[in-house]
């Protein structure tokens, strides 16, 4: 009688859930166990900084699979349990309740956690946003007239700023860079988003260094190198740290994330990593670790296929989006500093294209222009070279340019 392999997935977020459901579709017999530190059934995180902050506890897109799904698919989900140790030599994981699980294959999908406030202070009014519980806690702070400071002008910080100011909060955003979204958005698009916030009443304190946060009975006192503020709540939104410690402790290669190949394999036999905790290693360079819905949604497919002996390496062009003030912004590729950006403007819609020195489109950003998503993906994937005048000529659709780019070898 053939023995049934057990795959243990450590992490019950989007990547863990996706790995389990795809793996089940590929292997009807395998035993699948998800170990999740949270007490919630697996959910997707994008709604946390949007709909949940407006009071919708069950928005569309939050929970993709309910308890009945996991039961019907024979996926054992252990909520509220942490993996404390991976024993690679014995193919076993230890849990915080004293239990131990042997595995034939292991998937680490532990995600990331918010980077902590870089000061030695703790207070319940100093918050982060990563989990559903944290979103509900933050929502309770967003009452009309509340004074909210946000440390960090990245996507999460600005989505919260938009939600907070629309609910009547007084919002200040503190950022060390001299522009918002410096690490994830071209300056031409960042300036547009800055204007949306400015018009809504958000105040930006750019080029600031946070010095001191002092809890007082009735407020938090914040001191930067140029300002003194009194606020009711401080959201720390200065990036994320991969939860790769458990892999490091097991001797698995990690460097700002667990190092994997394009199919999610780690340096340890039969051990894979999925989602935000994974960092794909290429032959000549280390790729950036991707903290996106897209990566958590699709990279697990590569892992699941590898688990059953197949190969479907992850090769998606990076993509992420943000919704602010009824506006949608989508970014494709990696908007590196060295690119030259051109903007096509049509009836209030924007297509910004990032070119390298050879005239190839390497990244793009769309504002309220989702219909161009497929053409810009094809432009980035292609090898075509274009002049500025070609790309700025509105009589030439991006669809036609992308077709020409795809034909270039």
β-partners of residue 77 are: 34
pLDDT at 246: 98
Q: 9 pairs with which residues across the strands?
A: 34, 107
Question: For residue 143, what pLDDT band results from cuts at 50, 70 and 90?
Answer: very high
**For residue 238, what is the enclosing H or E element?**
none
Q: And the tokens for 298?
A: 């699709």
Please determine, for residue 283, whether its predicted confidence score (pLDDT) is greater than 70. Answer: no
pLDDT tens across 363-381, in order? 999 999 999 999 999 999 9
238, 151 contact by CB (below 8 A): yes
- pLDDT for residue 67: 94
Residue 137: both structure tokens together: 């806690």
The neighbour count for residue 348, using CB atoms within 10 Å, is 8
What is the phi/psi pair of residue 258, to 5°? -80, 125
What pLDDT is attached to residue 1? 44
- Whether the CB-CB separation of 366 and 193 falls below 8 Å is answered with no
**Cα(145)–Cα(142) distance, rounded to whole angstroms?**
8
More confident residue, 285 or 86: 86
**Taking residues 302-326, what's their average pLDDT?**
96
Among the listed ranges 3-7, 9-13, 222-226, which one has the minimum average pLDDT value? 3-7
In the chain, the percentage of residues whose pLDDT exceeds 90 is 92
Structure confidence by residue, pLDDT tens digits, 198-210: 999 999 999 999 9
Query: Percent of the chain beyond pLDDT 70?
Result: 98
The pTM of this model reads 0.94
pLDDT at 96 over 60: yes
Non-local (6+) Cβ contacts of 259 within 8 A are 253, 266, 267, 279, 281, 286
Supply 278's token pair. Answer: 């994974």
Q: How much is the pLDDT for 284?
A: 54
């Amino acid at each position: 009688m053939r023995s049934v392999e057990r795959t243990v997935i450590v992490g019950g977020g989007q990547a863990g859930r996706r790995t389990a459901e795809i793996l089940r579709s590929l292997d009807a017999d395998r035993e699948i166990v998800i170990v999740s530190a949270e007490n919630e059934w697996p959910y997707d995180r994008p709604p946390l900084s949007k709909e949940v902050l407006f009071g919708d506890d069950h928005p569309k897109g939050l929970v993709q699979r309910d308890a009945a799904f996991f039961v019907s698919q024979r996926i054992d989900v252990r909520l509220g349990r942490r993996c404390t140790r991976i024993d690679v030599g014995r193919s076993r994981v230890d849990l915080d309740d004293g239990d131990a699980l042997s595995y034939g294959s292991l998937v680490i999908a532990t995600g990331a956690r918010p980077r902590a406030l870089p000061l030695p202070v703790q207070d319940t009014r100093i918050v982060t946003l990563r989990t559903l519980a944290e979103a509900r806690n933050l929502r309770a702070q967003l009452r009309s007239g509340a004074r909210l400071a946000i440390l960090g002008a990245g996507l999460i910080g600005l989505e919260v700023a938009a939600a907070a100011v629309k609910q009547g909060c007084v919002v200040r955003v503190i950022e060390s860079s001299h522009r918002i979204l410096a690490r994830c958005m071209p300056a031409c698009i960042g300036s547009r988003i800055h204007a949306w916030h400015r018009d809504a009443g958000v105040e930006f304190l750019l080029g600031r260094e946070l010095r001191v946060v002092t809890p007082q009975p009735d407020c938090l006192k914040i001191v930067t190198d140029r300002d003194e503020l009194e606020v009711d709540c401080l959201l720390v939104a200065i990036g994320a740290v991969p939860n790769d410690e458990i892999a490091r402790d097991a001797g698995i290669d990690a460097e700002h994330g667990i190092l994997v190949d394009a199919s999610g394999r780690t340096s340890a036999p039969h051990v894979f990593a999925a989602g935000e905790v994974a960092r794909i290693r290429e032959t000549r360079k280390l790729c950036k670790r991707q903290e996106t819905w897209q990566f958590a949604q699709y990279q697990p497919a590569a892992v699941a296929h590898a688990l059953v002996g197949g190969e479907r390496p992850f090769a998606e062009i990076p993509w992420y989006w943000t919704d602010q003030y009824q506006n949608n912004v989508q970014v494709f590729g990696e908007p590196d500093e060295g690119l030259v950006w051109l903007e096509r403007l049509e009836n209030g819609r924007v297509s910004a294209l990032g070119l390298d020195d050879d005239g190839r489109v390497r990244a793009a950003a769309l504002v309220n222009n989702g219909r161009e998503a497929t053409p810009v993906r094809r432009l980035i994937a292609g090898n075509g070279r274009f002049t500025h005048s070609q790309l700025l000529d509105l009589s030439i659709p991006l669809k036609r340019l992308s077709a020409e780019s795809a034909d270039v070898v």
